[in-house]
Structures are given as structure tokens and as C-alpha cells.
Amino acid sequence: MGLDVQTAMDAAAVDEFLARRETGVLALARDDVPYSIPISYGYDRDERTFYLRLVSTPDSEKRAFLADAPPCRLVVYEEDEPVYRSVVARGDLESMAPSDLNPEHIAQYGNAQRPLFEVWTEETADLDIELFVLDPEEIGGRRIDRQAPET
């Protein structure tokens, strides 16, 4: 039986991975209640900062969890046999006002993957689109090389 080999990704490998990926899972918690959602993001590898555009409805669970710059974790991963990679970024999610946007911010938000179309059960006027920045306190990555079983 072969052994899987796990190694930590250095900062350059983490940045390369995050720059070519566009989606992950954002995890938030409040009062010991967890909440996770799939998201798309833009990543500025020079600043090591994530840019997220999140859509919610007035009574959504998401909107409740996004109040007050919540601490969060963003998990980005891929499985490309026989290699598995994952990166976890930890920090506080900060809201960005549209009036604070500069051309670099707009480019990063533009890098966030968008679906070709969206179907909403709510009126679009009820949708709230908020911009967030995650300037993580910590980013770590790992790579696992799966070894084929010996015969």
C-alpha cells in the first residue's frame, strides 16, 4: 500500500493556486452557530487580499451572518488526481462601500466568477449586493500527493 505524501505549500505556491482558482467556501459563525456558503472571489496576489461580491435577500440567513465584520475562514481547494491542494485563509470580513472603490478594486471584483445567469425567487429590487474584502491574518496551504497502491 502506498503512502500519501503531504507537504505545506510555500507562499508562492499558495498565491499561484489562489490566483488561478475563482471559487471557494466561506465559513462564518455567530453565537456558536456555523454558516457556510460557496462563493467566487477575486484575489490580489501582491496584497494577498480577497475581494468578494455577495448577494442576499432582506430576510436571508446570509445577511444576518454578514453583519458587523464577522471573523471568517475561506477554503479553496481542488482535486486533480493524484494531487489534492487546499488553502485556508482566516481573518475578518470587512464591508467595502462603493464610494471607496478605486480602479484596482474594480478589477479584482471583476475577477470574481459570475454565473452566466441567476434565478431568484425574490424580486431583484429586494436583492442586496454587498462588496467585501478579506485581508487575512493567516493563509496556509497544503498539497497531498496520493500514491498508487503497490501491487
CATH of the domain at 125: 2.30.110.10
pLDDT band at 142 (very low <50, low <70, confident <90, very high): very high
- Confirm whether 150 is domain-assigned: no
pLDDT tens track for 80-133: 889 999 999 999 998 877 666 666 756 665 555 554 334 445 555 567 778 889
Mean pLDDT confidence for 9-31? 93
- Confirm whether 44 is domain-assigned: yes
Give the distance from CA 20 to its chain's centroid: 13
Q: Determine the pLDDT at residue 149.
A: 63
- Confirm whether 143 is domain-assigned: no
- Confirm whether 70 is domain-assigned: yes
Where is pLDDT greater, at 74 or 149?
74
User: What is the domain range of residue 108?
Assistant: 11-78+90-138
- Confirm whether 29 is domain-assigned: yes
pTM, two decimal places: 0.80
Total tally of structural domains belonging to the chain: 1
- Confirm whether 129 is domain-assigned: yes
- Confirm whether 147 is domain-assigned: no
Q: Determine the pLDDT at residue 48.
A: 95
- Confirm whether 84 is domain-assigned: no
